Copies of this chain bind each other. A is one copy, B any other.
């Protein structure tokens, strides 16, 4: 049955014949495979353009920053899944990716949209500090979390934040969204009553939106980055099994309340 308005599926990404594969206007085999890095190719697939040096440096830094942080829930879920179904690596990777949601790992998207809305109001003539204060106050009143602020382990500023801000500065990216991100961080204690410092999930959009990375694809950063880490962990699982041991220790802590 026909669902929605669109009848013809259209795409600008790739077309192919028996002899050629054309991606974003480039011949895959003669123009891309010989000399394109995976990071550049990701950006080309996404935007249709090659990244400039600034964008490439910032994009690489964000992917490196969020890929790995030890036995976080998404890694545990994936290692348990692989232990149970070791013939389907793709299933264990998928289980890990499914934990890339708004609460942890996937908050970059929500933080980026927040920064974007604030930037638009500033563009329309409002003062940054006024917009920030109003926005945080409203979110607080609505009991919404402020995405990208506060971290269960890194109570002081998450160390990845300054590392990313430094990369952005040195690469010559616009620091506009870094300023917005820091204005929110500065406003939080007065409104929330405690510090909630910037974490990596806010720093990623803060630096990427200062390049020409599309705001709609921000959740793609933690998803792609974590996929690399998931493959590493699942490869480790083949020689050093941890999945079932993790589930054992977790289950030992369970209190039955029935």
Contacts and interface: CB of A to CB of B under 8 A. Distances in A.
Interface in A59-80: 59-61, 63-65, 67-74, 76-78, 80
**Nearest 3 pairs between A and B by C-beta?**
A85-B101, A220-B231, A9-B242
Number of copies of this protein chain within its complex: 4
A23 to B, nearest CB: 5
Interface of A: 1-4, 6-25, 28-30, 32-34, 36-39, 41-42, 45-46, 48, 59-61, 63-65, 67-74, 76-78, 80-81, 83-95, 97-106, 109, 152-156, 159-160, 162-164, 166-167, 214, 216-217, 219-220, 223-225, 227-229, 231-236, 238-258
Contacts of A162: 29
B41 A38 contact: no
Contact of A231 (B89, B90, B223, B239): B223
A4 B83 contact: yes
Nearest to A59: B38
Given A1-B153, A24-B258, A229-B45, A251 B36 contact: no
8 contacts: A9-B250, A13-B258, A14-B70, A21-B70, A33-B167, A34-B166, A42-B232, A87-B88
A1 to B, nearest CB: 4
Contacts of A235: 46, 214, 216-217, 220
Contact of A45 (B11, B68, B103, B160): B68
B227 A16 contact: no
B90 A29 contact: no
